[in-house]
A and B are shown apart, each in its own frame.
Chain A
Amino acid sequence: MIGILGQAALSLAFVSAILATWFYYRAAQYGGEKNESIANALFFLKGAFTFFASGLLVYLIFTHQFQYYYVYNYTSSDLQNVYLWAAFYSGQEGSLLLWILSSFLVGLALIRWTSPTYRTPVMVFMGLTQVFLLSMVSGFPIPGWGDLGASPFRTLASEMPDSPVFQANPDFVPSEGSGLNDLLRSPWIIIHPPVIFLGFAMMTVPYSFALASLWKRKYHEWIHAALPWTLGANLCLLTAIFLGGYWAYVTLSFGGYWAWDPVENASLVPWIFGMAGIHAMLIQKKHASSHKASIIFAILAYVAVVYQTFLTRSGILGDSSVHSFVDLGLYNHLLLFMLVTALIGFGLLIYRYRELPEPKKESPVLSREFMMFSGAMVLFLAGLVIILGTSSPVIGRLFVANPTPPDPQFYNDWTLPFGVLIGILTVVTQYLWWKRHNAESLASVLIAPTLIASVITLAAVIWVDIRNIVWMIYLFAAVFAVAGNGLVMYQMLRNNPRRMGGTLTHVGFAILMIGFLGSGFDRPMVDTRTRDYNQAVMAGQVVDDDGFRVNQPVEFVELEKNEPKLIDGRYMVTFLDADITERNRPGEQEYEILFEDVESGRSFVMRPTVYPMLSNSSPGAVEWTVDPAVRTGWLADIFMYVAGSSLVDREIERMNRENPGQFQTVDQLGPQMAENDPDETVVRIRRGSTMQIGDYTMQFRNFIYIDEEELPENSIIGVRADLLLVHRETGDTIEIRPSYILASNEDGQYAFNPPVSFELPGPGADPDSVSGEQPDRQMYRQSDAPADTPALEGSVRFREVHPDSDEIELVLGGVEGQPERDWILLSAEHKPLISVVWLGTFLLMFGFSVSIIYRWADQKKREFLDRNGHQSKVTAKVERPSSAEAVQSEAIDSQSETIDN
């Protein structure tokens, strides 16, 4: 019932969107207040219907109505409320809904704040994109063809009519949903997707404005209104990229903040094109040129959004991305969306191309327009290269039949020189922007940043041992950009802080560039032996059994419990403990790993976790994943996770015992387990720790000092070990307290530590009651024991005390099995300059925000003056002309702004 209501609401929203677009078109083409108010009303109606449908979907999710495919597929009844909320946009249909809602809110703002010149044509294009997005979720029934798109209100029964369950019982409702993907159960999912879709929605604005300007042949003024929106879209995309990168870095085991994954690129490329667009618009604003570029980049930025949406949602990237969606049958839909946005955009552009204003004379090379335009072009080319790489499943077919994604090196190789160019261009442009320069005066102001960059680069080359010449150039460019932009920013701070947004973003970008360099110096933190081995591997000196050269370094260390190892030449690491804590999820294991800095003497404990992805996998085939631990430092982070452990192996074994026969398992360290079991086992155990031996768990709780009166004569000191032996299967427990007494006689000191016999806890050894898997235990029964003795005999001798490590040595007799070693495979990485990357990102965000505030206020002032300009010009400090004369006025405008320096 609710499903039908939701479906109806979405269909009505779809119809309203079409009608609204139509009326906006009429209003834009033929004018008339009435058309516009009808269109506005329809637009509100569309929004109301979408909100209503979304509310229903949220209601279905919160009431666990698993007969709906979406609810079944992304939620379960054990989900916390925040994740139920997040489940609304965790699937493809819901995330489209979120996008539509964001676009609607942006549309409202446009209706409210856009000047009448552009309002209706802008809304036509906003409406058009809404029509497309809504069509993908509307489920609008088209007679003779089927439903349009994939509705989030589809029922399970309609989704899989052939399933035997539904053929037997059409009204079947699953009692439990399959749950939210475990990797998504992280607080980051609350914030990351809404920000990204807000960014996508805002990116529609420059697109719509550019097309409106082409339509209405008003090629100039649109940029003032579009600029704050483009900045806003870029701020959102940047924030979302940062959140995603941080999420990937600190809680997913992606190993870093960026992996050139298609989904990551999907938000990066629109950001880069948006950046190019912002710069082109600024040139147009200041210099009344580059009208074409502003329009082209504004169109491209949105087409890139749609194109990347197509790539990630059509299933085309299925094999090459870690988080692409499956094809929901929207392939043709998305293709059409993309083609229509691109065709309308570029079609209109070609149609009006000859009319577009041309600059009367060419700008000299040493002008801010030229430099800034070059910067925008470099950004554009960088975006193109990233698109090319992301499109490998499509474009790669030119070269091979079944293309793989490109090696990440492809992206790194190409973005590096672009980064160098951009870094240098930002400085030159900044100096030219705030003051006119000729070659000589420009050279003289560039001396300072060049000197600073040279000195720092040289110092870094010597100090950090950079040998790669390309990296030296890159570092020089980055430091040059920090120094140059920093000097400009310093002046701005004193003269005109309100307008420092742009400069701030350039400083942020330059700092980011330095931070990116850090990833070239990531190194695995391994012990000395492994490091030497790795160096031999790098030198090509290692061959494997078959005589082939080994070229893979070892990137992890094996740690035994309580046995410290020196890694990275600096940290003494000790695996202290592993426990199933279930802190955030069922089955979650927490590891305690102590790092002691040998140089500074400081120490810290890192707590990575490992957990089974229970809702992603079926019982008996449980996938495991890790949650790394990161220690943030100013210059370098320590990033680590547990790549494997005895505890995980035991848990997998246990789960397989409970669901036998499903899958074979592989013992990670199988060959090391002793096959023949000696009668006596020597174990070392630390105070307070536990140890697994065969079917038993032994805990060494504490030392108990023996009173002097109880000690035999000649004793110096005596101590007992308070041991607890638990039979794991039955839980039977016995306490054992072997003693160790140091005594002396005329020959010197000696230890008096006789073995203590005890009855082994656990099931009796009565042959009749012994279950199938236990008969070999009878081997340990003493041959002279009477046949009806139910218990087994064990013995323990307290052999040695090691006070320095707080450990004792025990000799166990009669206890079957070797002590199970508690081990982990630790993968730790030294990652330099990660904090610098975050710092750069924050500065960029801050700079964008300052710019948005300034540009928004600027635009309001401009509109105000436009309205009042005809009557009186007295109030204006600078002469503001009516919009028709705007082109000429910009020259004056730009001169007045130059004085700020």
Chain B
Amino acid sequence: MNRITRRNFVVSVGALSAATSVLGWPALGQARATGGRVVVIGGGFGGATCAKYLRRLSTDIEVTLVERDSKFVTCPFSNAVLGGLYDMDFITHDYKALRDDYGVKVVHDSAVDIDPDAKKVRLAGGSSLQYDRLVVSPGIDLRWDAIEGYDEAASKTMPHAWKAGEQTTILRKQLEAMSDGGVVIIAPPPNPFRCPPGPYERASLIAHYLKNNKPRSKILIFDAKPKFSKQPLFEQGWQELYPGMIEWISESDGGAIDGVDVKAMAVKPTFGDPQQGDVINVIPPQKAGMIADVAGLTNDSGWCPIDQRTFESRVQKHVHVIGDAAIATPMPKSGFAASSQGKVCAMAIVASLSGQDMPEPSYVNTCYSLVGPDYGISVAAVYRLGDDGIAVVEGAGGVSPKGANTGFRLAESRFAEGWYQSITADIWG
């Protein structure tokens, strides 16, 4: 060791003092190295949340978000756009805050393949991204082979509008162009599918638009299911707000359709006569987004089996799947659930990369549906990890009370909008 002079010592201490003054005394003691590269595929409710929360938890982790589009249009509140309550701008978000404020590297490209051995994601643009942990949040893809005659081309005439954006605009324009006295058909799929109450909120808000603009029109719901989410509440709301306008045909009454005729503008139920419509919204059965399938992360069900504590794939190590694509039963395939999973997954990854214990997971779902502009209903659930995976906390959650007064429904409609503003700010803001 060199001879220490008093001068050297004082200089060193001075330098230390200066350095720490500049930095405001950053942690010397307990900050652990949490470096690592995380690639997130998909910038929707699950992926964007996960990317943001990873960076909130550790600025040492390099997070790259791969998202095809420069703007994200949310499915939540797209029904309100269809009903004419909001415009497309309200449900459109970008990645500026994630990039500028949180230091997420946003790459607008599509992931075409995953090499789990080399830990690489190949992009359509030709480049590859190396990862230590990969988060796959691809949402859903539609099963184009499930309903005879209903393929991607048919969806230009009979929009599904189950991925918001251009499809939402097509359906809205068709509703605007329809004449009074027209028939709107909505054909929801069997379970499981994205946003269980979505088709019925859609029927409600289209009814709101028709009541005010084309009051002689009707809505027929050809359902592949014997019952649906928040059913008593929706039916009560329809009775109060749109009496006689919405008819729900259950699977047992011939509601399930197995084909469409695009030229004749008709749906073909499994039994009974074809039904013609002026506007037809077919919501086909779904599966995990394509990249999950290509990377072999799905099982026979078309969805991705995961460890429900960390969301790590049961098939590939160091690959996590969150959101609609994951099998996270009993959590629904909702944007809010995907976001909750994104947070738990971010904590699992930071814990793993930094060698810390992961806190016991806590998951939540809160979904509002608008039956009318001043008529909101909600469903909530709190989840914990049980012996067999994610479990509902008994005694908590549930739907809005059935006999609530108009003040309660009005409050929930305002909270629905507040919910949307909060969650989208929590994700993209």
Are A and B part of the same complex? no
